[in-house]
Amino acid sequence: MTPRLSIIIPTYRRNESLPRLLQALSGQTYDNIEVLVVDQNPDDSVPSWVTDFSATLPLRRIHLTEPNASTARNTGFKASTGDIILFIDDDLIPSPDFCASGLNLLQSHRHTVKCLCPVIVVDGKDTGQEHVIPGTQFKDTSLHRLKNSITAAVFFEREFFEQTGGFDELLFQFARTAEDQELFLRMTARGMTYWLDKSLRIDHDETASGGCELRTDQYWNTRERCIRSWVLRHRIHGGQRGHLNGHDLFVLSRSAFLNRGVLSRGVGTIFRNIRLLRKAVSESRSVIAPHLECYRSIELINHL
């Protein structure tokens, strides 16, 4: 019996790339699938696309009233029925054999590989391979262990994803970025391994508008979101759960302004980064305070 694949697509303000992705999924060589489109558009703009593709895809739409990439993925997972989960962003373009190849790799190494990432290809160039851990290649394969990754496209065995605790909805609400980095950081802390296969590739359209717009937003907006994500992650994963100790503050300062890239830009840039860091430290304290029990132990975090 072939495993059922649940494909979960969070979408937000992607009026052009989402139909293209659905068209690509309609042409997959693997057909035991279900597709869940988690629509975060407040104007209810996606239903016509669901109707158009329902003739060729076993497709369901779930509508959320507030955009949150973590909530969208968790909600899609809880509504899914598949043995294997594929989280895929709405600006990716899979080849016709992408799903079949990913599932074949998981089945071939099912005793070891429970989480599988492809190589993301942008304008013909491979990205993400710098995160491969040296010396961890699976013997006689193109599989390599990763030290961190992103969830633009990632396969999980269902039970394995449940064991991760899911995506952090509070983090995305606060910073609007880096929820995938936190998930992989938590997986590493729990001793859970994840893999990249260099033979599994998927194209990424970086020109697609919409989404969280981290790449296309103004520099200081992006900078603020990154700093906010760093601060809240340190409150979650630092030495004192929910709090920042001296070491955390030193690392955050080094990331925010005590580095060559910022120091070389002058006093104005330095002080602006300091203000962003101070603001993030202050606001994150009140944001996480009602949820401290949820973060008491990395092993016990569960957002599902």
pLDDT of 131 over the 90 cut? no
pLDDT in tens, 75-125: 999 999 999 999 999 999 999 999 999 999 999 999 999 999 999 998 777
Beta-sheet strands, E only, within the chain: 5-11, 33-39, 59-63, 84-88, 92-93, 115-122, 125-127, 132-137, 143-146, 153-157, 195-204
pLDDT of 210 over the 80 cut? no
pLDDT at 218: 82
Least-confidence region, from 189-193, 212-216, 230-234, 264-268: 212-216
Confidence of residue 219 (pLDDT cuts 50, 70, 90): confident
pLDDT at 41: 84
Q: What is the mean pLDDT of the chain?
A: 91
Share of the chain above pLDDT 90, in %: 72
Q: How far apart are alpha carbons 46 and 300 in whole angstroms? A: 36
pLDDT at 230: 96
pLDDT at 211: 61
Count Cβ atoms below 10 Å from residue 18 Cβ, excluding itself: 24
Please say whether the beta carbons of 37 and 46 come within 8 A. Answer: yes
Phi and psi torsions of 36, nearest 5°: -115, 110
Name every residue whose Cβ is closer than 8 Å to that of residue 1 and which is 6 or more positions away in sequence.
none
Mean pLDDT for 171-176 is 95
pLDDT at 29: 96
pLDDT at 53: 85
pLDDT of 217 over the 70 cut? no
pLDDT at 44: 65
Cross-strand bridge partners of residue 62: 38
pLDDT in tens, 232-254: 999 999 877 889 999 999 999 99
Between CA 32 and CA 40, with CA 38 as vertex, the angle to 5 degrees is 165
Least-confidence region, from 35-44, 58-67, 204-213, 268-277: 204-213
Count Cβ atoms below 10 Å from residue 151 Cβ, excluding itself: 20
Mean pLDDT for 265-288 is 95
pLDDT of 11 over the 80 cut? yes
pLDDT of 155 over the 90 cut? yes
Confidence of residue 49 (pLDDT cuts 50, 70, 90): low
pLDDT of 7 over the 60 cut? yes
More confident residue, 48 or 203: 203
**Amino acid at site 37:** V
pLDDT of 228 over the 70 cut? yes
pLDDT at 241: 80
Q: How far apart are alpha carbons 46 and 7 in whole angstroms? A: 17
pLDDT of 157 over the 70 cut? yes
Least-confidence region, from 49-63, 204-218, 269-283: 204-218
pLDDT of 164 over the 90 cut? yes
